[in-house]
Structure 1
Amino acid sequence: MASAAPLTKTNAGFVLDMLKKLRGEDKKENVLFCPVSLSAGLAMVLMGAKGNTAKQISEVLQLTETQPKSLSATPLQSLLKTRTEARTQVHTQIKMQIQQRSMVPSYLSKVLKSKTDNDAEQTDKGDEETPKGGPETGKDEAQNGSDAAQTSQGDAQAAGEVSQTEKDEAPAAQDDVHAKLSELLSPFFKDDAPFGLSVANRLYGEKSCEFIEGFSEETKKLYNAELEPVDFKGNAETERVNINSWVEKQTQDKIKNLLAEGSLISTTKLMLINAVYFKNLWEKKFEVEETETEFKITATDTRRVKMMHQKSSFRLAPIPEARCKIMNMPCSLADVSMVIILPDELTGLEELENQLTPDKFEKWTSRALETEVVEVAGEVRLPRFLMEKTYSLGDALKSLGVADAFDDTKSDFSGLSPQKGVVLSGVVHKVSLEVDESGGEAAAASSSPAGESAAEAFTADHPFLFFMQHKPTKTVLLAGRYSSPE
């Protein structure tokens, strides 16, 4: 799908995969996480990973395109081709393998205006100009049989060339991915960034692992996060207290006691800490309703909540094929809005989640931003809420495909330490989101003709999905599921 936005199929795939994984089997479970912060943290881990460990992390983050299962010519194809044709094909395959294994996803390339598309066009042009026949083409079958045997030897040699070339090209390819990913993510984490995120993102490592000099400086430059050597082996409890104090300071004293007593032990090697606080401010202030409203968790389970409302013009996109509607509510922060996906039916959230794919997610969220969507004057009613969620993401990441990083017999973190057995001991992710009536200017007053009441255009009084989104790039800052008031 052609799009200039970063939130394309691959990026949406990571968001939806994690959203469903964190929900689990509990249909009433609230979910809240920060995709940009979690991506930056895992990308920092990826910088120190090599081999299959790096491959698994990259695939879960969906930073690389899936390559075909086999690019090798079959025996029949080798027999039917002349030596020149076969060897031309092998070299083309080598080029394709290198390109696909180091390919930066389209959502990164396009949003950053990279030259990937132009390079691909030049590659295609070069392939078209490659001669399809050679001086051997008119020879008899006996000669062709000899050519086939030579081709097999050439293929074997070329296979070795592929392996060596991959080794030579891999560091440059990974550097390219990190450069582009950093350009996309880093603006959200700068100290003066106008996006309202207070972030604590750091990789802590046992100091005896002898970390490679310069690694921390590079992660700081790319992701505004760093590796800090600590003494897990000799003083894990003191380090836990220090980490909690640092997180509290970084999140405006909102996230306290992130790590529970005993969560760090003497054998801890690497611990990724990722905590985010976000206080939402609307572009136009809401009014709080005096009486509470019943929020319908299920057909038989309700809970009374404080609702807030405003009468104004807003962008509402009905999605009839999914029996839901999407509303885009502007925030006061730079180009940030809350996108809410509300099922039409009271119990429709599970059905909506089951049919939500990356393609549909991109398509539907785009509808709420398209110029042809009519701005409708009506009343918006939302619950006020403070949501906090803490996750130990080890099991979730393993089930998504990141297995080797947590296994000391398979992990390869030779990019950050020369020692064997350096392993990711844990990933802790906590997000705190405050949504209330606070905002900038008051919403303009509106009135209805005599005898008529204002149209209630959007009432979120049953479970819904929400995404805090950077509108120009469609980057998801926060993603959540509100299904059970706390």
Structure 2
Amino acid sequence: MVSRRSVLRAVPLTAAAFTAGPGGFRSPGGSSTSADPVRIPPDPATTQAAATAVRGFTADLYRTLASTQPGGNVVCAPYSVGLALAMTRAGAGSTTADEMDAVLHAPHPRPGALDAGLNTVDQMLATRYRDGDGIKQPRLTTANALWTRLDLDLRPGFRDTLAGYYGAAPHPVDFRGATEAARQEINTWVSDRTNAKIPELLRSGVLSPDTSLMLTNTTYLKAAWTYPFSATATAAAPFIRDDGSVVDVPTMRGPFDPMGYLEGDGWRAVDVPYAGGGLSMAVVMPTRADLAAVEANLDATWLGALLTGFRFTDVQLRLPKWTFRLPAELGALLTDLGMPTAFSSRADFAAMSTEPALRIDDVVHETFIAVDEKGTEAAAASAVIVRPPSIPQGPQFFVNRPFLYVIHDRFTGVPLFLGRVHDPLVTGPA
């Protein structure tokens, strides 16, 4: 019998977002143990379906995760989680694959459309943002890798799919004889690609000598606001929490500038642009009831309408500064979303390798975000382990109560980071 520690395990699906601050910016990178594979050319015809799939998974993941954190701050990076799960799905079959396709909102025909669409979106984002300096133009980079046991025999189709559609090259490591060294090597790879903001994706004890393979993804973002806030104008201002209590929080005060604005049933939103015009942060605040009423309607359709519905107008913005980190285990959440077979003894991951009885043991996700007067920096790392002055005319947008935020690409409508702030002073789970 295969032990629970000899199974397919998805672990720290980690996202980080943080402010450009003292110390400057160190470009993510680092040496690779394998040559970067040649990617399959993007197919623009697959963009819309892939973006729709990402929005669907984003809404489901956020809504379910938020329900486990009642009354608390939330942040997650569904784009990173989705890429990690999509790479895992490339090795799945039968019911396991069908359930993962449904959870990932995979477009038809399955499974090739999901791989092709994510490949297109990822390369389009890279083309626009990978060479940005993080100041005048956002910098957004992604990297995928396949870490394999030294003697593991990979299925050619699985290896080729990961190389062509995800750019994930095999990195042979000695999971069996040098487990700790393998953990350190992978952590270094992740840290190098997240500007050292995720220095220890894999905690001690996560890997074991029977680990067969692991899939990793990193996503890094640094973006300055188009209209930076003045640090000297930041001052304490009241913030009304959902329970009616009031706290004074450092609140940034912007000038009267053009940005996206939208009103809906029980909410209104502003789309705060990052320099370069391609990325922005949508901030959604309820106009009646509380934030839970808005979250109850958050689905793929609502999210798509939000991200594509903004109209430019001059807005006077007040926005709190905040920093927050949330670690979360997603195994039970993903099971509830509709992919229980992947976590069971009935899982079918035979398309990965000749290794028998693989299954997902758990999915762990950790996200960090910090926002200040200069802008936002963000990084996501994911791993799947296989084992076995006077007020002008126009709207004012004073963010003084709990709100949602979505960092997204305007061109494709792809959400990258999604969260809520119930209390800007809270920096992590209690």
Instruction: String of CA shifts for 1:365-417, please: whole Å, max 9, x gaps.
Output: 3321xxxx461x3420111223333333222222212222233x322222220
From 307, 311, 327, the equivalent of 1:365 is 307
Match of 1:404 in 2: 341
Residue 294 of structure 1 corresponds to 238
Any idea what SS the aligned residue of 1:266 has?
coil
1:233-252 aligned within 5 A = 233-252=176-195
Q: One-letter code of the match for 1:235?
A: A
C-alpha distance in 2 between matches for 1:365 and 1:331: 15
- Alpha-carbon displacement from aligned partner over 1:18-71 (angstroms, at most 9, x marks no partner): 00122233322322222322222212111111222211111110104xxxxxxx
Structure ID, larger Rg: 1
Q: Which amino acid aligns with 2:240?
A: K
2:363 pairs with one of 410, 422, 427: 427
Corresponding position of 2:268: 325
1:176 to partner: Cα distance: 4.2
| SS of residue in 1 equivalent to 2:119 | helix
AA at the equivalent of 1:36? Y
Alignment counterpart, residue 211 of structure 1, candidates 154, 166, 178: 154
Q: Distance in 1 between matches of 2:97 and 2:392?
A: 59
Counterpart for residue 462 of structure 1: 401
CA distance in structure 2 between the partners assigned to 1:12 and 1:61 by the alignment: 10
Choose from 339, 342, 351 the match for 1:415: 351
> Structure 1 residue 283: deviation in Å?
1.0
Identity %: 26
The partner residue of 2:323 within 386, 393, 404 is 386
Q: 261, 274, 287: which one pairs with 1:316?
A: 261
Give runs of aligned pairs for residues 220-299 of structure 1, distance below 5 A.
220-288=163-231, 289-299=233-243
Aligned to 2:279: 336
Report the residue type matching 1:330 in the other structure.
P
C-alpha spacing 1:207/1:24, structure 2 compared with 1 (3 Å): farther
- Opposite residue 239 of structure 2, the aligned amino acid is F
TM-score (norm 1): 0.66
Q: RMSD between aligned alpha carbons?
A: 3.0
Further displaced range: 210-219 or 11-20: 210-219
Distance 1:395 1:299 in 2: 29
Structure 1 pair 354–423 and aligned structure 2 pair: CA distance change class (3 A): same
Deviates more, 1:7-16 or 1:43-52: 7-16
- Please name the residue that 1:19 is paired with: 62
Q: Deviations over 1:413-461 (max 9, x none)?
A: 2222022112334434333333211169xxxxxx64xxx6777700112
* The 10-residue stretch of structure 1 (202-211 or 280-289) with the greater mean CA deviation from structure 2: 202-211
Q: Secondary structure at the match of 1:299?
A: coil
- SS of the residue aligned with 1:390? strand
- Quick check: 1:192 aligned with 2:137? no
- Higher relative CO (CA 8 A, sep ≥ 6), structure 1 or 2? 2
**Cα–Cα, structure 1 residues 202 and 318, in superposed 2: closer, same or farther, change >3 Å?**
same
Task: Note if contact 2:147-2:213 (Cα within 8 Å) is conserved in structure 1.
Answer: yes
Deviation, 1:340, is 1.2
**Residue aligned with 2:198, SS:** coil
TM-score of the aligned structures, taking structure 2 as reference length: 0.74
C-alpha contact (below 8 Å) 1:293/1:305 kept by paired residues? yes
2:111 aligned with 1:181: no
Deviations 1:270-329 (A, max 9, x none): 44444444333111111233432233233344443221121222222121x2x1101111
Aligned residues of 2:404 and 2:419 also touching (Cα < 8 A): yes
Which residue in 1 is equivalent to 2:71? 28
Q: Match of 1:62, SS?
A: coil
Query: Is 1:50–2:99 an aligned residue pair?
Result: no
- Comparing both structures, which one devotes a greater share of its residues to strand? 2
User: What CA distance in whole angstroms lies between the structure 2 residues aligned with 1:468 and 1:456?
Assistant: 22
Unaligned runs of 5+ in 1: 65-102, 105-172, 441-446
* Contact 2:235–2:252 (Cα < 8 Å) also in 1: no
- Structure 2, gaps ≥5 residues long: 1-46, 133-137, 377-388
Conserved 8 A contact 2:291-2:402: yes
Aligned to 1:350: 292
* Separation in structure 1 between the aligned mates of residue 267 and residue 99 of structure 2, nearest angstrom: 35
Give per-residue Cα distances to partners, 1:214-262, cap 9 Å, x unaligned.
Answer: 7445413312334444333333333222221111111111111222212
Change (3 A) 1:339 1:212: same
For the 8 Å contact 2:242–2:290, the answer to whether it is kept is no
* Number of aligned residues: 360
Give the C-alpha shift of residue 265 in structure 1: 2.4
